Amino acid sequence: MKIKNICCIGAGYVGGPTMAVIAQKCPNIAVTVVDINEKRIAQWNDPDAEKIPIYEPGLSEIVEEARGRNLFFSTDVARAIDQAEIIFISVNTPTKTYGIGKGMAADLKWIELCARQIAEVAKDSKIVVEKSTLPVRTAAALKDILDSTGNGVKFQILSNPEFLAEGTAVEDLKNPDRVLIGGDVDTLEGKEAMDALVNVYASWVPRENILTTNVWSSELSKLTANAFLAQRVSSINAMSELCEKTGADVQEVAKAVGMDSRVGPKFLKASVGFGGSCFQKDILNLVYIAKSFGLKEVADYWEQVIIMNDHQKRRFAANMVRKMYNTVSGKKIAVLGWAFKKDTNDTRESAAIYVADYLLNEQAEIVVYDPKVTEEQIYSDLNYLCTRSEEENRKFVTVVDSPMEACAQAHAIAILTEWDEFKVIDWRKIYEDMLKPAFLFDGRRLLERDTKEKIGFEFYAIGN
C-alpha cells in the first residue's frame, strides 16, 4: 500500500513534533494534524513559527519548512479522517481521577471517542495507529468499536509507541534508537498494514532500527521502558538520602556505579525527582494492570518507584524549611525553573509544583522564573492541586522575567529545573542582592560545590 495521506488526532507534545518530522522526511505524504482545541491549532498555524504551542529545540524550524507544503493543522477532524490512509491517535490518556482504577488506571475516554468518530466517518479501509501510551490490550477494545459499524469498512490496528524525551524530541525523532510497530502478525492484512507504516519510517530510519512485534508486546514495551528509566531515577535518589547520612557524595557513587558496563551512566543523576507526563502515569498504569491480574508483589514492586519519587520531593522541601531555622513564613524564596526538565515548556508533574506547594503551605512567598513556561501555566498548575484558592496563589506567588529579579532580596533560592542558563548566572551578583544568610538549594545538582562555597551561600545539594 502506498501512503499518500496521514492524519493525526491530537496536536500535543507527541502528535505535533512526530507529524512535523514525518512531513519533513516524507515530502510526498500529506500530513494533517487535527485537534478540537481551536486555540492550539491557531498557535500551530501562527505565521511566526516561534509561537507554536510546544517548545522543543529545532521544532519551529521544521514546522516553518513543512507547514503549507505537506504539513497542515486543522480543526476539521472528520475531513482529515476521511482523506487519510493512516490515522494516528495521539490524544491525552491521563490517570483516572474517578471510578474504578481512580489514581492508577489510564483514562481512555478520549481514545474511545476517537475510535467512534473514525468508525462514523470512514468510508474505506483505514490503518489506525495507537501513538498514545495505552494499557495492554487496548487495541482489542479499539478493534471492537471500529468493527461494530456494520458498514463493511476494514480497520487494522497498529501500536507505534513513542520513545521521545522532551527537550531532545526532534533529535529522537530524526535519529531514533528504535521504532517499534506492533500489529496482527498472523494475518496477511495485518502484515501489509505493518509494512505500510514501516515504509513511512524507512524514508529516514535504517530498517534494522525498525522493530515489528505483535500488538500486545508493543503496548507493554512502552510501559516497561518508562518504568525501567523511572526506577533508575528513584534508585539513585534513594541512595542520595543515604549518602547525606553517611558523608558519601552521591555524584561520586553514581560515577563509580555507572562505569560498570552492566549498569551504565544514564539516568543516575540524583535530583529532586522525576516529572513529566509519562513516568508516573505509566508506572501507575503498570501497577493497576498488575493488580487487576492479581499480581500483588509485581504491583508493590513498581509502586515503590512512585513512593520514592514523591518522598524525594517532600524531603527536599522539608530540608529547605529545616535549614532555614525551621520556618519560611513570610520569607521570599526564588524558584528557578518550573518546567519538569530543561528545553521544554511542559510542566506536567514537575517537581517545582510540589516543592512550591509545600513551601506555600508553610506560608512562604514564592517568586518564580522559568525561560519558557508562561505565568498563566504556573498559576494553573498550582490551582490544579486545589490546596489553596486561586486568589491565595496569586497573592503569594509572583512570576518574573529574569533570575536576577527573582532572587533580589530573597532569603533563599531553589534550583528546580536544570536550564543551561542557570549555569552561567553571575552567582556572586545574585548573592550580593540577597538577604543574609543567603541559602541556595540545588535540586538538580547543577552547580559545583566549590562555586557555592567560594561565594558564601548556605547551601544544600541533594546527596551531598
Q: Which of 284, 446, 274 is CA-nearest to residue 346?
A: 274
Question: Which of these is catalytic: 219, 278, 342, 407?
Answer: 278
Residue tagged active-site, from 96, 126, 131, 222:
222
Q: How far apart are CA 315 and CA 243, in angstroms?
A: 14
The alpha helices in 263-295, defined as continuous H runs, are: 279-292
Q: Which helix (H) or strand (E) segment is 301 a member of?
A: helix 296-323
Residue 7 annotated among the catalytic residues of the structure: no
Q: Which three cell numbers stand for residue 33?
A: 494534524
Give just the sign of the alpha carbon dihedral 333, 338, 340, 341: negative
Q: Is 401 exposed, middle or buried (0-12, 13-18, 19+ CB in 10 A)?
A: exposed
278 is catalytic: yes
Which DSSP string corresponds to 35-52?
Answer: -S-HHHHHHHT-SSGGGS
Which residues partner with 72 through β-bridges? 32
H/E segment holding residue 151? none
Residue pointed to by grid coordinates 534494522: 208
C-alpha cell at 203: 524514508
Q: How far apart are CA 255 and CA 250, in angstroms?
A: 8
Residue 269 among the catalytic residues: no
Query: Which of 56, 130, 162, 166 is labelled catalytic?
Result: 162
Instruction: Identify the CA nearest to 126 among candidates 163, 99, 152.
Output: 152
Nearest CA among 159, 162, 181, 180 for reference residue 172: 162
* Alpha-carbon dihedral sign for residues 198, 201, 206, 208: negative
Cα angle: 385, vertex 359, 355; to 5 degrees = 60
Residue 351: closest CA among 241, 229, 222, 233: 233
Rounded distance between C-alpha atoms, residue 450 and residue 438, angstroms: 16
What's the order of all strands across the beta sheet hosting 412-415?
397-399, 365-369, 332-336, 412-415, 439-442, 458-461
* Cα distance between residue 181 and residue 292, in whole Å: 26
Task: Kindly list the catalytic residues.
Answer: 162, 222, 278
